[in-house]
Amino acid sequence: MANETSELIARAFRDYNGGGVEALLPHVHPEFEMTTTSEIAAEPDTYRGHDGLRRYFGSFFEVMDKVEIKPAQVTPRDERALIIFDIAARGSTSGIETHLTGNSIVTIAEGKLMRIDFFTSGELAEEAFADLSG
C-alpha cells in the first residue's frame, strides 16, 4: 500500500506541474477536502471536490503566472503520506520569484487523493503523522 501511495503522489505532482489543475484532477477523489488556515494562507478556506481545487489554484493564478510544486520528502504509511514540498511561484505583474516549503499529510481513498491537512512546520506535520500510527 505504501508503494501505491508514493506512486500516486508522484504522478499527481508530475501531472500538476506538467498540465495544471485539470491534469491533477484525475488523481483527486470527487469528495476531496482540504482546509487552509490563517497561519498558512492569506485567505483561509475549505476547498471541496474538483471545483474546490479549481477555485484554490485559481486564486494563485490571479496574482501568479507560474506555480510549481515539487515533493522534497514523501513518507508513505498505508493510506496516508507525510509530504514536505517546495513551491516555486512567479508574480504575474512583478516577475518576482518566491520559494517556500509546505508541510502536509495526505489521505488516500479508493486510489485517489481524498484529503490534505497542512501544518505550519515540518516538525508539527511529523508529530501529527507519528500520532496517526499510534
- pLDDT over 70, % of the chain: 99
Place 134 in a pLDDT band, splitting at 50, 70 and 90. Answer: low
CA nearest to 114, candidates 37, 53, 40: 53
> Which segments of 20-121 does DSSP mark as H helices, in order?
21-24, 49-61
> How distant, in Å, are the alpha carbons of 19, 59, 78, 81, 109 from that of 48?
21, 15, 23, 20, 15
Average pLDDT over residues 62-88: 93
Domain at 47, CATH number: 3.10.450.50
Q: CA–CA separation, 77 vs 59, rounded Å?
A: 31
**DSSP label at residue 27:** G
Q: What is the pTM of this model?
A: 0.91
Number of domains in the chain: 1
Domain that residue 105 falls in: 2-132
Average pLDDT over residues 2-26: 94
Residue 33: what residue type?
A: E
